[in-house]
Every structure is written in C-alpha cells, then in structure tokens.
Amino acid sequence: MTPPSKFLFFLVLSLFTTTTFSSTCKKQNLTIPNTNTSYAECIDLPYLNSFLHFTHNVSKSSLSIAFLSPPATPDGWVAFGLNPVGTGMAGAQAIAAYNDDGELAVRTYDIKSYGVLINKNLSYEVLDLSADKDSRGGLMRIFATVKVPEDEITLNYVWQVGPSIINGKLEKHPFEPGNLNAMGTLKLNNDGKQSYSSNGSEKFRSNKIIMIWCFISGLIVCILLLGN
C-alpha cells in the first residue's frame, strides 16, 4: 500500500470509528433550563427521529428531562410520557407540545386509553414545565422536572408524534411501526447512576453499524485500487 493510500485508509477508519460510536444527542449541548448544568445522560431514540436528555437528582428525588422531536406535520404535536402502570401509551402521564395560534403550547395529559386523552395534572408532581422550538432542525423541545420516588425505581417511558390539533385536542398518531414501538425503560439508582433501554435500540444500533461498514468497505476497496 503506498503512503497516500495508507493515509486515506487510516483517515477512513478514523471516520468510521467516530461516526459509529458518536451520538447525535451529545452534540445538542442542552442544559437544564435556568441553570448552566448539562444533562447527565442522553439517548438517540430509535424511532421518530427523537432524542431524550435526562438527569436524576437523587438528593431532590427528581428527574429532569428534555425531549426533542420533529412533529409529524408542521401543524402536528410531539409528546413524552412516563407510564407508572404499564409499558405502552395507555396509562401514561404525558406532556405534549404543539403550535397554538402561532405560539408553542405545552400541556399535560392523563392518557386513560388510546382513545381518551384528558388534559389534566399528572400523577407525578411537575416542578418545571416549558417548551420551545429549535428552528434550525425543526425540532419541538419539551423541558420538565418531575418528582420521582426516593427508592431505586424503573420508569417506563413513551414518546410520540401526531399530525394535528382539532378543537384543542390531539389527533391520533399514525399506527406505523415507529409509532407503535416508541417506548423504553429508565432504571434510576440511589447512587445517581442510571441505565436505559428502548424498543429496538440494539437493532437500530446494529443496523447503523452495518450500513456504515458497507459504506466504508466500498471506500477502502476504491482506495486500494487507486493505490495500485
């Protein structure tokens, strides 16, 4: 392999490593509102082009979250919720953001069932709640801090996007695979450490690596041929 080919080979290998193991959410550089404190963890959620940032404050028994997602349509809505009774949308205590006469509104919903969304206070105490829009990426952003039990707990979470608001009500989201699989689990520990998972997250990560490998492999072949 000639020196230029070696240089290109290692350049491509470096690009592969950086791309494969980097997360989009880490580049968003979000801080908890009214503070200069960055969120402790973030997840590139595997569906609906969404992201979750969070910090578990053990001493205050609170969970600060930032949820980012593009709405299904310009007039649509985005939502994130914790479900204390199950793993799906039914039973979730959700927060939704949407455009309301040119302003971004944020509301809380007790989702009794898939057909019943009630705008009311959550079973979790909400300490801070706000929403804004990132005009650069078309993302709606929901910020909230909620009280959580002091003991080590596992929280089921869901996220969703929908097409429109009619008479102040969220219209049903599509029932595509991405919508139906948008759920995961957070495990909060007393030592401040946390772990998380999402439906399909491992498959999503594996597919991403495979696609990048295929792309890089093609480049390497071209480099080797050009170096001969």
More confident residue, 26 or 224: 26
The answer to whether position 207 is within a domain reads no
What pLDDT score was predicted for residue 104? 94
The answer to whether position 15 is within a domain reads no
The answer to whether residue 192 scores a pLDDT higher than 90 is no
What pLDDT score was predicted for residue 218? 55
The answer to whether position 76 is within a domain reads yes
Find the domain containing 119 and state its range: 25-199
The answer to whether position 213 is within a domain reads no
More confident residue, 3 or 129: 129
The answer to whether residue 207 scores a pLDDT higher than 50 is no
5, 57, 75, 156, 182 from 199: Cα distances, Å: 41, 25, 27, 11, 7
The answer to whether position 40 is within a domain reads yes
Q: What is the pLDDT of residues 16-56, one digit of tens each?
A: 433 343 579 999 999 999 998 999 999 999 999 999 999 99
The answer to whether position 172 is within a domain reads yes
Task: Give the whole-number percent of the chain exceeding pLDDT 70.
Answer: 75
99, 125, 171, 184 from 71: Cα distances, Å: 10, 26, 12, 20
Model pTM above 0.85: no
The answer to whether position 14 is within a domain reads no
The answer to whether position 148 is within a domain reads yes
| CATH at 72 | 2.60.40.1210
Structural domains counted in the chain: 1
The answer to whether residue 203 scores a pLDDT higher than 50 is no
